[in-house]
Structure formats: C-alpha cells, structure tokens
Amino acid sequence: MKVILLQDVKSLGKKGDIVEVSEGYARNMLLKKGLGKEATGQNMNDLKLQKANAEKIAREILEAAQALAKEMEGKSIRVAVKTGEGGRVFGSVSSKEIAEEIKKQLGYDVDKKKIQIDNPIRALGVTNVAIKLHAKVTAEIAVKVVEL
C-alpha cells in the first residue's frame, strides 16, 4: 500500500515522502497515529500543490534576502565607544551594538545572531562585518569604530 507521510518516521522516510508499506502497518500504525495518509489521487494532487507552494515561498524569501544584501552592500555604520589612554577601546564592540546601530543609522532590522564577527573588534578604525541574511546570502557592511 502506498502512503504519504505527514511527519518524519524513523527508518521509513521524511515528511512528504511517498512510501510503499504493508497494508497492516499502514492501517494499524501510520494511519491510526496520524503519521500518514493513503496515497489516493486527490491526496497526491494536494501534496504536489503543497510542495509547489513551499518552493515558491522559499524562492521569494531567497530573492528578498538577495535584494536586501544588494541594498546593504557598500554601506557603513559608525559605532562610538569609550577609549582609554592611547586610543585603546574598553572591552569590544558586540554584535548587539552593531545590530542597534544598523537599525538606527540604516533602518534595517537585523537580528544580532546573524551578525558574524570573526575576531572581537577592540580597536578604532574600520572593520568589515558579515551578516548572514539567508543560508545562501551573506552581506558585508563596514563598521567604523570611533572615539566617544
């Protein structure tokens, strides 16, 4: 019997997969527990439409991330920090501070977890910081650290 999986089932398949199982397993396990539904013509069409819709949404999200990356590319922000003798920065510039300044100065709402800082920013000057907008899209922005 062919069954469309509604959830991931260990050792059988992932959500949306069409699998061939014995009739007893399908009726007593998969259908009874709501883990799958019978692969009828109507259910197959529904699955095809759901997959097409999911692909369309994923494509739109990717295009939006690419457009935002193009807008952000080449822009810079200023972060003012306290300094001591000789221009040494107290502490370092955090991703939270960078996210706040991006929102204030450029108007983009960026999650601090998406800002990727390789080494802590502990000196005055310009540092390029990567912002991961999507799994496939990364934008780069210049952070100018200036004395307060």
* Residue spans in the chain of domains classed CATH 3.40.5.10: 2-66
Q: Please give the pLDDT value at position 67.
A: 94
The predicted model gives 31-39 an average pLDDT of: 94
Neighbour tally for 75: CB within 10 Å: 14
Domain 69-147 has CATH 3.90.1150.10: no
DSSP state for residue 9 in the 8-state scheme: B
Count Cβ atoms below 10 Å from residue 115 Cβ, excluding itself: 20
147 pLDDT exceeds 80?
yes
Residue 16, CA distances (Å) to 33, 34, 53 in order: 16, 13, 13
For residues 92-118, average pLDDT: 93
Q: What is the DSSP string of 55-98?
A: HHHHHHHHHHHHHHHHHHTT-EEEEEE-B-GGGPBSS-B-HHHH
State yes or no: pLDDT of 148 exceeds 90: no
Assigned CATH for 2-66:
3.40.5.10
* pLDDT at residue 86, rounded to an integer: 78
What pLDDT is recorded for position 88? 81
Q: Where in the chain is the domain with CATH 3.10.430.100?
A: 69-147
Cα of 5 vs its chain's centroid, Å: 26
| Nearest one of 41, 23, 26 to 5, comparing CA atoms | 26
